[in-house]
Amino acid sequence: MAWEGHGMRKAIAVSAALVLAIVTAAGAWADDWSQEAKLVPSGEGNMGWSVSQSGGTAILGAPAESGYSGAAYVFGKESVGWEQVARLQAADGTNHFGWSVDIDGSTAVVGARYSSSAYVFEDTGAGWVQVAKMQPFDSPSSSHFGCAVAISGSTVLVGAPGCNSWKGSVYVFENTGSAWTGVGKLSASDAAADDLFGWSVAIDGSTAIIGAYGEDEKGSAAGAAYIFEDMGSVWTQMAKLLAADGADNDEFGYSVSIDGSRAIIGAPEDNDNGDNAGAAYIFENAGSGWTQIAKLLAADGEGWDYFSHSVSISGSMALVGAQGADDYGENSGAAYVFRDTGSGWEQAAKLLASDGSNYDLFGNAVSLSGSVAIVGAPDAGAGYVFTPEPATLSLLAAGLALLRRKRSSEGKR
């Protein structure tokens, strides 16, 4: 083939800048992500209200199912495609089970906000089994414990934004090997009434990010997010993150996600693209502290899209949900893929459900893991799986490889 041999040598000689320019071209990316599957539950309800994935397994919450007792569904990617493998419910019955979900390997946690409870399930090999029920160990049931949940290894975080006149708290639980035990409670160093600290939570290893979208430093309900580190015996606040251009009612911190040294924070009522059009912010810790490095906006954003109502970050890509977008009818919803090009974050794709319609709220919840994007559409009662086309992956790999070579050669000079 002409591409091999001499042609390959010529291709390698192409500048990294040119390859990245090709990759970033909107036309080259517009159709490169395709819908791989539509996940439909065995029951009826609003599955897709919450979503998380880990290693080919996804969990989607349906808190309005069964008269609002709620359910959560586990799907696995099998050789024939994505299939439902379990329907989870609380052993003792509850209220809005599935409001929040997270999964890491064979362990999942499900929040039941209006019962101030969270539940841990494990895949035993023979099925998914409830192994723990968590509740606040020092707060009343009105704390909204379970509004947000996050798991990484043997640590679970549960947000309780209603604590102490909505100042909010986050509870830390550890798996000791024999049981899940409450080991701590996190609060903002500058906590104030109506901050809603704990409305959103995410964790990666020993680092956690917690959203407080009602915080007022940049303006009334401009919002904030906090970074905590597990120092071995105690979790310590390391940073308070604010949007550089934060303003009244942006609600920065409504959604959060973290992967290694990068985090994304949603501000769904930012007004750059119109009233409540929404924006998302990328922060990075390069070793000297957490710094805002990008503000993301939808290229076609409009008022009331609520872009960043949900966010997820994985490596050099981010996924942002906009449940209010109107492409397939009012509030049919959309989701956007962004990527780090090496010179900045750029919109790479816009995702839409193949059968979207009015009020589906596609984008109410999103999860990104590697190159797999899952988008929840609770009013359609479904989740949608998207992956990039092979050509897109090859082009991206080629561009990144050339960029690494270019940076390496520059470092040697």
* Strand order across the 57-62 sheet: 50-54, 57-62, 71-78, 81-88
Nearest Cα neighbor of 247 from 266, 268, 269, 222 is: 222
Give the C-alpha distances (Å, rounded to integers) separating 47 from 41, 70, 343. 7, 9, 38
Fold of the domain built from segment(s) 6-412 = Methylamine Dehydrogenase; Chain H (2.130.10)
Q: Which residue has the tokens 């000689």?
A: 13
- The angle formed by the CA atoms of residues 122, 128 and 129, to the nearest 5 degrees, is 70
- Among candidate residues 127, 59, 63, 125, the one with its CA nearest the CA of residue 95: 63
Who's near 52: CB < 8 A, 6+ residues apart?
A: 58, 59, 101, 102, 103, 108, 367
In contact, 319 and 370? CB cutoff 8 Å: no
Q: Would you state the pLDDT for residue 393?
A: 54
Q: What is the pLDDT of residue 409?
A: 55
Residue 385, Ramachandran bin (φ over 0: left; ψ between -120 and 50: alpha; else beta):
beta
Contact 84, 75 (CB under 8 A): yes
The vertex-313 CA angle with 272 and 319, nearest 5°, equals 55
Residue 255 near residue 311 (C-beta atoms within 8 A): yes
Distances (CA, A) of 140 to 64, 143, 160, 165, 313: 23, 6, 10, 12, 33
CA proximity to 311, closest of 326, 322, 324, 301: 322
pLDDT of 8: 38
Give the E-state strand segments of 69-147 in sequence order: 71-78, 81-88, 97-104, 107-112, 117-123, 128-134
Indicate the DSSP class of residue 332.
Answer: -
Q: Number of helices (H) and strands (E) in the chain: give both, helices first.
A: 6, 28
Provide CB contacts within 8 A for 378, sequence distance 6+.
Answer: 46, 47, 48, 49, 62, 64, 361, 364, 365
Strand partners, 372: 369
Rg over CA atoms, the chain: 21
Per-position pLDDT tens, the chain of length 413 = 333 333 333 343 344 344 444 444 433 444 489 999 999 999 888 999 999 999 999 999 999 999 999 999 999 998 889 999 999 999 998 899 999 999 999 999 999 999 999 999 999 999 999 999 999 988 666 799 999 999 999 999 999 999 999 999 999 999 988 899 999 999 999 999 999 999 999 999 999 999 999 999 999 999 999 999 999 889 999 999 999 999 999 999 999 999 999 999 999 999 999 999 999 999 999 999 999 999 999 999 999 999 999 999 999 999 999 999 999 999 999 999 999 999 999 999 999 999 999 999 999 999 999 999 999 999 999 999 999 987 555 555 555 565 555 555 545 44
Per-domain boundaries in the chain: 6-412
Residues in the chain: 413
- Dihedral angle over CA of 345, 266, 58, 43, nearest 10: -140
Question: Rounded to an integer, what distance in angstroms lies between the CA atom of residue 84 and that of residue 127?
Answer: 12
pTM of the model: 0.88
Q: What is the DSSP letter of 213?
A: T
Helix (H) or strand (E) holding 68: helix 65-68
Q: What is the pLDDT of residue 395?
A: 58
Q: Please, what is the end-to-end C-alpha distance for the chain in angstroms?
A: 35
Task: Concatenate the DSSP letters of all residues of 273-284 into one string.
Answer: TSTT--EEEEEE
Amino acid at 44: E
What is the rounded distance in angstroms from the CA atom of residue 407 to the CA atom of residue 30?
28
SS3 content of the chain, % helix, strand, coil (to 5): 15, 45, 40
CB-CB neighbours of 194 under 10 Å: 15
pLDDT at 25: 41
Nearest to 171 by CA among 197, 205, 195: 197
